[in-house]
Structure 1
Amino acid sequence: MKKFGKMIKGILKIWFFYLIVCLAILPLYHKRADEENRECERVLNMAGQERILNIENNVDALVWRLRLIESAKENIMLSIFDFRDDNSGQDMMAALLNAADRGVKVQILVDGINGTLYLKGSRNFRELTSHENVEVKLYNPITLIKPWKNNYRMHDKYLIADDFAYILGGRNTDDLFLGNYIDSYNEDRDILVYETVPGEGNSYIQIQDYFKKVWNLSCCRMYRKHEGINGRLREHYQEVREKHSEAFCEIDWFEETIETESIELCTNPIDPDNKQPQVWNRMVNEMEEADNILILMLYK
């Protein structure tokens, strides 16, 4: 038995050393950007075709998300790093379930670690995903077979409603970022992009194609549906309508937004791997070419 115990301890030591190498040492080796990578190719749209709204505070951030969800008639795509079953998270789930009840196809893409930690035990989330019009995938779930993959997360945070508008920024779907539910919260920023010609804006085409590419990656696993779950999300939706009534009024999208000359979206490679810093490379090239440049960094 002593020899067996020593063997087990030896195996565990090797395993922990292997984890340290995979999770801490390997990511220290950085790749260089490929100048020919097309993910950062500049694409400009016609001036005025896409209009924007700057969303500064967390209350507005929740209200505008609810407006987009309520206005959708065909498709909703939500990609998020952190989605919690808290107050604002339940507001969003209730609105998404109502959209699914209206016949809207809802696709939700969540980071694998956060989705596993915070959503798999959520009855509200299981109720949402039990709907036939709702599909959920987890990006790069935790794996013990390939532990070096566990450090590669998906930090995307955007919501697309049909082909007329999307919100892109730094806010997760939880009380730290949305609504006015807690005293201590994160200050962040989103940009809403409104398409004056539905489906024709270049940035809209980019972000929709990007979502589809990530959605179809082999590392994305379908979240298992739990059939026949009836909770209180539909009842909560009525509470959301009363609590955030301004989100359910008619919106003049043109008046709420301002004109842009162009919108450029840029991304690093999307596979869970040690990535080439394409975004940083694109920023450096822009700074070398421009006389004046303003950079706003959002990180979470």
Structure 2
Amino acid sequence: MTILHLPLLFSAVLLLTGCATTLPVDHDRKPSVALAAPESTELGRFFKSEIATHPGKSGVVLVPTGEWGFRSRAGLSNLAEKSIDVQYYIWETDTSGLVLAERLLRAADRGVRVRMLVDHVTTKETDFKFARMDYHPNIEIRLFNPYANRSFRTLEFLFGLERLNHRMHNKAYIVDNAIAVVGGRNIGDNYFGVDAAANFRDLDLTVVGPVVQDVSRSFDQYWNSDFAVPVSAIIEERLSPEEFDAKKKALYRWVDKLEDYPYPIDTTSDAILAKLEEFRDSFIWANAKALYDEPDKPETDEETVADYLIQLGKEKDHEVMIESAYVIPGPEGVERTRRNNERGIRQRLLTNSLATNNVAAAHAGYAKYRRALIKEGLELYELRPDANSVKKNWSLLAGRSTAVLHTKAFVVDGELVAVGSFNLDPRSIALNTEIVILVESDELAVQLLAYMDEGVQPENSYRVILETDVETGIERLVWITEIDGKEVRYYSDPEASTWHRFSSWFMGLLPIEEHL
């Protein structure tokens, strides 16, 4: 580089700095709100009598498998009459992501208003596909806290860390403001058990009744916030009506010709309603509410989801069961564990092992607290990469893939259930926005505990304990599991590749815990 190039480089850096620290403002964005009369739709009428029979209560059912995670979203999209509101951290453009996008387009063709809010952690190709969908007159897509320059994201992130480190982690699929799916799943093959490489053990709740309006109010707040920027303000691709129609029809033809996708896609309304009828009695009616962060969470003094859950933890009497993909408790979390143990409260946690964790930095942040948590009384389990309870729910397409934990669920004292997007890490506590459905129901707690208990069985996870080596007298971690009915012990992170070990070790050297 010659000295003549330095002014150009300096100008580029200044431009990136300016773009990174401020949100795009040169765009036309009209406010809108959720459907006012959900009872005017088929879905609203479907649960009308149950809602009337259980005044003030909401209907809740667990969605524990990837198959039903997909089928619930696709089926409800097929039933939509007035509106679909979707809010996600990740929407992949793999097979499942494209199929569900196609369902949204089909709904929009029927006159359904579709509002799609996605965090801007997407790739260029995903950006373009979102921009193309936005050409539909009944679809509007907004990106949360977007990057201004898609070609220099790393530089922009470095210069604009304070703004761009704030991400929207919420996950919600709301149809006709009458029914919603909320939980841990994003949109993509590995969330629905059809990926060839890795698939998630994950969990959603399908909810009806008053709590749906809570979720819709949350969506409206995000949708109308300054952080929600129309995709058309970010992506410059322009299509003629003819070009858009051609691309839409090409997607329709592609989905119509899918032969190896394992779940039904184009199910008729009558068939979906018949399936809902089967599940009608499965809904548990209880007091429920949606906890959600403000869109400007890092800048506000409002109570956060983390504040509420921490306070909830202080009020427990005898046990707390947790399943969380990412756990970085920090000194404060270790201290809370100690105090709970002194009070005689049983504490159990299932999280990812090094072999199953898909974020090396997150495992590095967790590993440094593992010994302390066990010493303070935590019953600790880590998922096995070959967990049978996860694999049995996958399609044949995913038979050889690795299991990864992605659930975020809590059961307190066998009567209070929390399921949503919240992990036990600094990102969920202070940086990312989150949503959690809180349900007061011992019946739902029993069902969720059965799901959790299955996860900690020896064929699915490792029990991690501290043990003193009789020869050296040194205290060490031990991972205990069963293979072919026989107990097996490991004295270092089981089934972890050399690359996994190196990545976790290296990340552990970096001073980045507050960003994990």
TM bin (shorter chain): 0.7 to 0.9
Q: Counting strand residues as a fraction of each chain, which structure ranks higher?
A: 2
Partner Cα distance (1:107, 1:133) in 2: 9
Q: CA distance change for structure 1 residues 127 and 237 in 2, over 3 Å: closer, same or farther?
A: farther
Q: Any idea what the Cα deviations from partners look like across 1:150-189, whole Å, max 9, x if unmatched?
A: 1111111110000221000111111121252424212211
> Retained in 1: the 8 A contact 2:88–2:187?
yes
Q: Any idea what the Cα deviations from partners look like across 1:74-120, whole Å, max 9, x if unmatched?
A: 00000011112110011101111110011100000010232x54412
Q: Are 1:75 and 2:69 matched, yes or no?
A: no
The 5-angstrom pairing of residues 258-269 of structure 1 reads 258-269=283-294
Question: Which residue number in structure 1 is paired with residue 469 of structure 2?
Answer: none
Equivalent position SS for 2:85: strand
Aligned CA-pair RMSD = 3.3
The structure with the larger Rg is 2
Equivalent position SS for 1:99: helix
Q: CA distance change for structure 1 residues 109 and 7 in 2, over 3 Å: closer, same or farther?
A: closer
Partner Cα distance (1:171, 1:152) in 2: 20
Q: Any idea what the Cα deviations from partners look like across 1:233-273, whole Å, max 9, x if unmatched?
A: 22245357996338542333552632232112212221163
Question: Which residue number in structure 2 is paired with residue 278 of structure 1?
Answer: 304
Opposite residue 81 of structure 2, the aligned amino acid is K
The 5-angstrom pairing of residues 135-146 of structure 1 reads 135-143=140-148, 144=156, 146=160
Question: Which residue number in structure 2 is paired with residue 217 of structure 1?
Answer: 225
The 5-angstrom pairing of residues 73-152 of structure 1 reads 73-114=81-122, 117-122=124-129, 125-143=130-148, 144=156, 146-152=160-166
Opposite residue 218 of structure 1, the aligned amino acid is D
Q: CA distance change for structure 1 residues 291 and 47 in 2, over 3 Å: closer, same or farther?
A: farther
Q: TM-score, normalised on structure 1?
A: 0.75
Q: How many residues align?
A: 263
> Retained in 2: the 8 A contact 1:47–1:262?
no
Q: Are 1:244 and 2:268 matched, yes or no?
A: no
> Retained in 1: the 8 A contact 2:218–2:292?
no
Deviation of the 1:217 alpha carbon = 1.0
Q: CA distance change for structure 1 residues 2 and 162 in 2, over 3 Å: closer, same or farther?
A: closer
Partner Cα distance (1:84, 1:186) in 2: 14
Question: Which residue number in structure 1 is paired with residue 49 of structure 2?
Answer: none
Deviation of the 1:291 alpha carbon = 2.0
Q: Which structure exhibits the higher relative contact order, with contacts defined as CA atoms closer than 8 Å and separated by 6 or more residues?
A: 1
Partner Cα distance (1:179, 1:274) in 2: 37
> Retained in 1: the 8 A contact 2:174–2:181?
yes
Q: CA distance change for structure 1 residues 128 and 90 in 2, over 3 Å: closer, same or farther?
A: same
Partner Cα distance (1:63, 1:93) in 2: 14
Equivalent position SS for 1:67: helix
Question: Which residue number in structure 1 is paired with residue 179 of structure 2?
Answer: 165
Question: Which residue number in structure 1 is paired with residue 316 of structure 2?
Answer: 290
> Retained in 1: the 8 A contact 2:63–2:206?
yes
Opposite residue 159 of structure 1, the aligned amino acid is Y
The 5-angstrom pairing of residues 9-88 of structure 1 reads 49-88=57-96
Opposite residue 311 of structure 2, the aligned amino acid is N
Opposite residue 154 of structure 1, the aligned amino acid is M
> Retained in 2: the 8 A contact 1:94–1:236?
no
Deviation of the 1:147 alpha carbon = 4.6
> Retained in 2: the 8 A contact 1:48–1:260?
no
> Retained in 1: the 8 A contact 2:89–2:121?
no
Point out where structure 2 has 5 or more consecutive residues left out of the alignment. Answer: 22-51, 149-155, 233-237, 325-407, 409-422, 429-516
Opposite residue 204 of structure 1, the aligned amino acid is V
Q: TM-score, normalised on structure 2?
A: 0.46
